[in-house]
Structure 1
Amino acid sequence: MVRESVWVGMRGRAYLGSSAPWRGVVYLVGGVLLGVLVLVGGVLGLTLGLALTLVLVGLPLLPLLALTGIPIAALERHRLRIVDPAPRAPTPHRTPEAPGIPAWFKLRVKEQATWRELAYAVLLALVLWPLDLLMLACTLGAPALLIGAPAQLALDGGEIRAAKLWMISDYPHAFAMALLGLVLLAPLLYPLGAYASARAALARLLLAPREAELATQLDEVTRSRARLVDAFEAERRRIERDLHDGAQQRLVALTMTLGLARLDAAPGSPLASQLATAHDEAGNVLTELRELIRGIHPQVLADYGLAAAIEDAADRSTIPVDTDLDLPRLPEPVESAGYFATREALTNIARHSNAHRAHIRARHERREVLRIDVRDEGDGGADPTRGTGLTGLADRIAVLDGTLTVTSPPGGPTVLSVEIPCRAQYPQALAD
């Protein structure tokens, strides 16, 4: 049976007979113990760090104290399951891009969650655990003293003052006090449960805020999309390599074999005619395969960069293309996305625009944003959602935090613009 939260249990009739009130007690007792440890450990660590600073040994210790909120917050998020078993409080911290302690430390120092957790640790040490102790004393202390009256009378053997209020000298009155303690305990468990629930809600708000959960999920979605794009690009390269080194080489060998066979066949014979047809057909297949390989991932893009690849695509376009390119070498995913967006734009211009000329302008603006504009003077009215192939490219560019926009009023001109934030890998431009 799945346990319900203490707050939900309080609204049911079986609250006193369930584990909910005692889970609230365990949660508050744990808060008192943890708060005392944090207070003592924090004072000792701060004192030791300040003392050792005089001999420079304590200088690294003081920055480490700022990170002590991280394990405390992790333990507090885990303790929340005592009061509210579901859902589990997520961590607001991101995963470092690179392995190792330096990358982890650098990321944690920059995160707001780290300083929020440190503030919570200070709040726990100075304010929260005394409040927890006070609530336990008010709701459990007095009933516990009354319930323990018979045991106290047996130990003392004479008169006792139950709960520091009433003098008791016999067991009937002692057991009456114990019964009164049980009667008082039942209603006092309700404010205790309410306080434990509020205390847990405050911890969840500070240590696992909803916006942090959404940011963590969004960050993970972005990372997963980036991993998918990287995997897709790696698979594209593998296919290109296999076709280039496998099928293309076999076709070259077949073409050469057919060419040699034509030389051995008698001129004008039916065999010579068939060999000539087969030789030409093999040459056409080889040409198409080379175009296919170039379309999967052109070698010029990997060797010479985006500017050279755009120039090559413009030279092979079926309509004239003017280029104005000034680009350095950029990160490989950026160059690949920019190239395929440009090539798709040229394909759409040739098929749908009725334009007689296209213009491509590409710049690395302010050394931080790649911008490519592909313009044509065609009919206009282009809709990127109607099967032009730009939707997938837009998603791919979005993974790189970029944007792809199409402006195409009726009558033209149509302008496709790509913007991708990036930094240059090499300063020199490879095309003018």
Structure 2
Amino acid sequence: MIRPVAYTGYLVGGVLVGAPLSAGLLTLGTLGAALTPVLVGLPLLGLLALSGIPVGVLERWRVGRLDRPAVRDPGPGDERGHPPVDPHRTPAEPGLGPWARLRFTEQATWRELAYTVLLAFVLWPLDLLVLAVVFGLPGALLAAPAGLALAGDETRVAKLWLVDGYAQASVIAAGGLLLLFALLWPLALYGRARAALARVLLAPRETETRLAEVTESRARLVAAFEAERRRIERDLHDGAQQRLVALSMRLGLARLDAPPELADRLAEAHREADEALGELRELIHGIHPQVLADYGLGDAITDAADRSAVPVDVDVELPRFTEAVESAAYFAVREALANVARHSGAGRAWISAGCASGDRHGRRLWIEVRDDGRGGAVPSGGAAGGIVGMGGTVGTGGSAGRAGSGLTGLADRLAVLDGTLAVDSPPGGPTVLRMEIPC
């Protein structure tokens, strides 16, 4: 149902919001551009880019107020009657910095800015023009009797018709009323189109909503997986390992007082207990190394290089990252080194890592694993998800996994955190794996 009164109020509100908004944007933009050479203008331009966020909140509320009475019981696919939901995601960390980084990378922020600029310089003057046309001429006609009474003997209506009698003025006023009712229909259609434009630009896309849900769900799964990994490591460390240590000590003490016919058997049992304890410690280290939790990714990569069967030179200097990023990067490096040892025939490997920033993806952790092996990646069904070519043959083979799915598993591990794996492995080597993870 078309409701002229509601849409008239909506357009009047657009004028009241847009007029001061245009002045504010012009002032902010002019000051930001003028002060940019002395760096003071950069925060002002950043504030200008984020100005669409409060405008988006206000406009979504106005559209929601406009549509709520229109549909008392909207169907499952009908968005009318409900204000558009906020398209922005909640930052993973508190504070202004994480909030600003997230907002600058969201498409919704730039759509809101586009709508804000459109409202400030195009839409509100258009709204004002429509309101003036719809109410200006009919209003002048309706005021003909009042104008005649004020003028005394005659008056000119809308600067078009000379009126010198109340009968003529009454006819003109009646015509103005009919014209007003006739113009309310196109006004309501225009207002409806304006509200639809606001919904298109300010409401979240269905794909964005689903992507945000998938991203948040994946983050929760990664966090749950890491928590479960830590729990298993803690249970093994505090439970089974302590029992094996106690068993080994008791067997050692028993050997001291054992008769000769039992000493050899106790010694053998003691050796097996020590071997089981060593294997359990290696298993615990593989589940979640303590050096990673205590000292961070840089020292954990160095520790993994020391344990590698192939000599590895390490050039790594990294800050601390979130637990999920450090864990994914560490186990990816472990897997890469294991594949180098198994498949490359390399005599030496090199690991370098750092943190890049400044691109559209924000800060990214990168790790490069290089070996002097024979190279020559063998395709296995084409590039896997997250695997990108760097000039060599790309696939799930190569020195990082010639006969299996080594690269696929490594790429899948990185893809959980939106990371990528780039492979360069020409025949004859060297092979270079470059891993990147947003951080």
Could you say whether these structures have the same fold, taking a TM-score greater than 0.5 normalized by the shorter chain as the test?
Answer: yes
State the number of aligned residues: 379
Which runs of structure 2 are paired with 1:6-405 in the superposition (5 Å)? 18-35=1-18, 38=21, 66=48, 70-81=53-64, 82=66, 85=80, 89=84, 99-101=94-96, 124=119, 128-139=123-134, 184=179, 187-203=182-198, 225=218, 228-268=221-261, 279-301=270-292, 302-303=294-295, 305-315=299-309, 321-332=310-321, 336-348=327-339, 353=343, 357=346, 359-364=348-353, 369-374=366-371, 376-377=373-374, 381=378, 383=380, 384=396, 388=405, 390-398=407-415, 402-405=419-422
Q: Which whole-Å deviations, capped at 9, do the CAs of 1:119-164 have from their partners, x for residues lacking one?
A: 86576456543432332343356567878999x89x99x9999986
Give the whole-Å Cα distance in 1 for the aligned partners of 2:154 and 2:22. Answer: 36
**What SS does the corresponding residue of 1:373 show, helix, strand or coil?**
strand
**What SS does the corresponding residue of 1:362 show, helix, strand or coil?**
strand
Change (3 A) 1:117 1:227: same
**What SS does the corresponding residue of 2:352 show, helix, strand or coil?**
strand
**What SS does the corresponding residue of 1:75 show, helix, strand or coil?**
helix
Answer with 1 or 2: which has the greater Rg. Answer: 1
**What SS does the corresponding residue of 2:283 show, helix, strand or coil?**
helix
Counterpart of 2:56, as a letter, is: A
Q: Which whole-Å deviations, capped at 9, do the CAs of 1:73-126 have from their partners, x for residues lacking one?
A: 321233233367389656576756753457657887999987986786576456
Q: Contact 1:28 / 1:132 at 8 angstroms: preserved in 2? A: yes
Q: Which whole-Å deviations, capped at 9, do the CAs of 1:37-71 have from their partners, x for residues lacking one?
A: 6579899x99xx9xxxxxxxxx9x98898566542
Give the whole-Å Cα distance in 1 for the aligned partners of 2:274 and 2:99. Answer: 56
Q: Identity of counterpart residues, as a percentage?
A: 50
**What SS does the corresponding residue of 1:381 show, helix, strand or coil?**
coil
Change (3 A) 1:94 1:41: same
Change (3 A) 1:413 1:69: closer
Runs of 5+ in structure 1 lacking a partner? Answer: 1-17, 50-58, 316-320, 424-432
1:177 shift after superposition:
6.8
Change (3 A) 1:328 1:199: same
**What SS does the corresponding residue of 1:305 show, helix, strand or coil?**
helix
1:243 shift after superposition:
1.8
Change (3 A) 1:414 1:363: closer
RMSD, matched Cα: 5.6
Counterpart of 1:25, as a letter, is: T
Give the whole-Å Cα distance in 1 for the aligned partners of 2:24 and 2:315. Answer: 59
Runs of 5+ in structure 2 lacking a partner? Answer: 32-40, 68-78, 357-364, 381-395, 398-402
Change (3 A) 1:361 1:42: closer
Change (3 A) 1:75 1:241: same
Counterpart of 2:131, as a letter, is: L
Larger RCO: 1 or 2 (CA < 8 Å, sep 6+): 1
Which residue number corresponds to residue 8 of structure 1? none
1:371 shift after superposition:
1.0
Q: Contact 2:11 / 2:127 at 8 angstroms: preserved in 1? A: yes
**What SS does the corresponding residue of 2:378 show, helix, strand or coil?**
coil
Q: Which whole-Å deviations, capped at 9, do the CAs of 1:178-210 have from their partners, x for residues lacking one?
A: 5x6676556534422332244335545665696
Which residue number corresponds to residue 361 of structure 2? none
Give the whole-Å Cα distance in 2 for the aligned partners of 1:121 and 1:334. Answer: 37
Give the whole-Å Cα distance in 1 for the aligned partners of 2:24 and 2:303. Answer: 61
1:418 and 2:418 matched: no
Give the whole-Å Cα distance in 2 for the aligned partners of 1:118 and 1:253. Answer: 67
**What SS does the corresponding residue of 1:418 show, helix, strand or coil?**
strand
1:292 shift after superposition:
0.8
1:394 shift after superposition:
1.7
Give the whole-Å Cα distance in 1 for the aligned partners of 2:334 and 2:47. Answer: 54
Give the whole-Å Cα distance in 1 for the aligned partners of 2:378 and 2:118. Answer: 61
Q: Contact 2:138 / 2:179 at 8 angstroms: preserved in 1? A: yes
Counterpart of 1:289, as a letter, is: L
**Could you state the TM-score of these two structures normalised by the residue count of structure 1?**
0.62
Give the whole-Å Cα distance in 2 for the aligned partners of 1:398 and 1:279. Answer: 45
Counterpart of 1:24, as a letter, is: Y
Q: Contact 1:356 / 1:377 at 8 angstroms: preserved in 2? A: yes
1:249 shift after superposition:
1.1
Change (3 A) 1:392 1:282: same
**What SS does the corresponding residue of 2:311 show, helix, strand or coil?**
strand
